[in-house]
Every structure is written in structure tokens, then in C-alpha cells.
Amino acid sequence: MELISPMVIIILGCLALFLLLQRKNLRRPPCIKGWIPWIGVGFEFGKAPLEFIEKARIKYGPIFTVLAMGNRMTFVTEEEGINVFLKSKKVDFEQAVQNLVYRTASIPKNVFLALHEKLYVMLKGKMGTVNLHQFAGQLTEELHEQLESLGTHGTMDLNNLVRHLLYPVTVNILFNKSLFPTNKKKIKEFHQHFQAYDEDFEYGSQLPESLLRNWSKSKKWLLELLEKSIPDIKACTSAKDNSMTLLQATLDIVETVTSKENSPSYGLLLLWASLSNAVPVAFWTLAYVLSHPDVYKAIMEGISSVFGTAGKHKIKVSEDDLEKLLLIKWCVLETIRLRAPGVITRKVVEPVEILNYIIPPGDLLMLSPFWLHRNPKYFPEPELFKPERWEKANLEKHCFLDCFMAFGGGKFQCPGRPVAVAQACNLSTLGGRGGWITKSRDRDHPGEHGKTLFLLKIQKIRWAWWHVPVIPATREAEAGELPEPRRWRLQ
């Protein structure tokens, strides 16, 4: 009996613990696990993540968990879950992204946590709406320079055109002119390595570099480029007001708080954050505008009313000018709505209750702006490109439409959103003036296809068979009459 009693107690204790755990699990959201340990449904999820999320929502309801690649990702799709995602102190942005930052930019966890908030405050201040005027003049000058380098006529894939324009413009403004190469061979090399790094960024954030040789090679090339360029970048001063560029201010904080060894890594992170979103936003804005002749015509008429008819003289696009061209800003925001990031994330640090479910610590809480922006409850006729819906937004006070989440939310919204919108607005204004950028008459050469949808940023170019001629002002362009290409598809 003396031996039986302890055994009975142990068995009863284990049974009680099992029942307690089962009870806790009953309060967890439905979980899509798959049958392969650790990998879970990673392969199925990776093939078409956005479609997977929507199918899971329809099948399991407004909250569900996906087990993939060792991560428990709990998706929320309704207001209560969204409010927790944005406002709860039991979820954390920094802890959610620290592993991603380490894998993609080689920034250790302790360094990232020590610097993140300081850098965010600086970036938000320098790129905020109050200081946007400081970028306006240089942005116009840089765009003029790149547009003129194209020549007076020709045909170019729209994706390549936008990269050709915005890569040097963005780098010269935010970093320094000494970073971006000037000869064709070096420019081509920069494009190749950055595109390779950008296109496989998501895989690089999850998989060992040994499995991604080309991506790892491009990452190393970019880090070496930054390491070589940083001394010259730090030595440069503004001829106008002695102010620091965005990269200079970043390096100042990084080297003050930690050491200069981390400078190339933060330079790489800033380079990716600035270029990887600037190109898709501008591309899709131009693509949507060019595919809607009525919108294009209205924009052209607006540009002519503000700047006059096209001529040889250069124009400068100020904030006041853009305020008179609200349709362009509406088009940019509507484009961002339709091509929003697939997911944004937070890490659960304490048990949190959502819709009577308990989300355990360690889960990644996920929100999909892409699908939120397609909810007819918030955006009527969500699949349509309707710039006029933004007339209801109070843009003068920098307030977007309800449930517009393309720039994230909560404490750490995207600090570069004013500059990103301004870039696309300026390119649309200068590129559209006088018909510099219109649809091509060439009906036989589809542009290149984009790659897989990327969850962490503005949606990539998936189907866009476009060629864009660079032509001088014509009556046809000013009238908004657009020759239709034979094959194109926008999703």
C-alpha cells in the first residue's frame, strides 16, 4: 500500500495536469498544423500565402493559428483582434522582427534592441511631414536629371524604368551621391545584387544562408559596398545648411551607442527599407493610372492647370503644388491600398485574450493589410481602383481612411510614409507632364513578370506586361488618349 499510494498520486497528478492543459488548449484558436514536425504547413503556406490566409479565414473564422517553419502564427481579421494588435502592451513589435533583422542584415539582438527606438525617433523626425519640404527641391532635381538621361524617345519596361529612375534618386537623397555608381557596368551590378537581395529577402529571413547562395552573395556584396562608401559618406556635408543625410544621422547614432562595426549592417537595412517599397509604389501607381484613361486624362488636365503646358523649362514640384493635385495623391494612396503588405506582425509576450480565445506567449500575432483593405465593410467595391474614395479622408491633417493599414499601426508605424508618398506623387507629376510616360504602342513585347508575392512589404509586380515609351509632349498625351497594348493584366 505504501508503494501504491505514491503511484496513484503521481498518476492522478499527471491526469490533472493533462486535463488542465487540454482545457487551456480548448481556449486556443483553431490551429492548422500539417503533419510534418516543425515545418507544419510551411510548404502549402509558402506557395500562395495570401490565398492560404483567406481560405483559412473562411473555414476557421476570424481568428486562427498557422504552424509553419517552427512558428506559431495567429491571424486576426476582425475589429477586436485588430485593436489588440495595435494597442495591447502584451504584444511587441521589436521582439517580432529581431530574428528577421539578424538574418537579413547581421544585426545582433542586443544591438537591435538598444538602437531601435532611438533610430525610429530620429527617422520619424527627419522624414515626418514637418520636414518634408527639405526633400522636395532635391527630389525634383534628381528626378529631372534621371528623366533627361533617358533621352527624347524610346521604349522601356515599366518596372525597369521605375527602378532606373528611383534607385539613384532615393540613394542620392537619403544616403549620399558618393554611394550610387555612375558608370553603366557598376549600375548594372548594383541593380542585379539589390534585386537578388530584395527578391529573396523573405527566404533570407527564415532560412540559413548556406541554402541561399545567390542571396548570400548579394548580401555580402552590398555590405562591402557600404563598408567602402561609409567613410566618404560621413565626410560629406551639405552645401546649404550643413545638415546630415538620413544615413549620416543613422551612422551617428549607431556609432555613438554601439560601434562602427554595425554601420554597414544598418546601412543595408536602411537601403532595403527605402528601395524595396519605393519602386513597387511608383510602378503600381503609374500602371493603374495608365490603365484608367479617365483618371489619366484628369491628372494631365490638373498638371496643365498648375504648371501650364509642357515646355523645355524645368518645373519644381513643391508641397503646395501637390496640394493642388490631390487626385495624384489619391491615386498613390489607392494604389497602396490595393497593393498593401500581405502581413504585419507582433510577438505575444503575455497571454492575451481575443474573442474568448487565449493566445499564448511566443505566438506571432499576424494582421493582413492586404485582406483588410479588401473588406467591403471598410472599403466598398474593394477590388476596384477608385481614387475618389480618398476624398473622404482628411489628408490635410494626415488622417487616412479607417482601417487603412498599409503603413502599419500603433507605436512603430512606417516612419518613411510621407517621403514614399511624395516620391510617387513627384514621379507621377514629372513623368506625366507633357506625356513623358504613356502606354507603349508596341503590342508585341510583354514586359517581365514579377515574382512571388512578398508578405513584408508593398506587393511586388506579379503580372504586368508593360512597355513604356519615353516621348516628347504630344497632343495625344495631353488629351489623355492612350493606345491600348494587346496584352496586359493587373491583379
- Residue 488 located in a structural domain: no
- Residue 347 located in a structural domain: yes
- Residue 40 located in a structural domain: yes
Q: How many domains does the chain have?
A: 1
Residue % of the chain over a pLDDT of 70: 82
- Expressed as residue numbers, the domain containing 80 is 27-107+343-372
- Residue 61 located in a structural domain: yes
Single-letter code of the amino acid located at 120: Y
pTM: 0.85
Structure confidence by residue, pLDDT tens digits, 49-78: 999 999 999 999 999 999 998 999 999 999
| Numbered residues of the known binding site | 414
Structure confidence by residue, pLDDT tens digits, 431-481: 766 455 666 544 333 333 333 333 444 444 333 333 333 333 333 333 333
33 Cβ partners below 8 Å, 6+ apart?
A: 40, 41, 67
- Residue 128 located in a structural domain: no
At residue 328, the pLDDT reads: 95
Mean pLDDT of 248-260: 96
- Residue 75 located in a structural domain: yes
At residue 15, the pLDDT reads: 67
- Residue 67 located in a structural domain: yes
- Residue 63 located in a structural domain: yes
pLDDT surpassing 50 at residue 305: yes
> What are the angstrom distances between the C-alpha of 125 and each of 18, 180, 412, 418?
52, 25, 13, 11
At residue 129, the pLDDT reads: 85
| Numbered residues of the known binding site for heme | 414
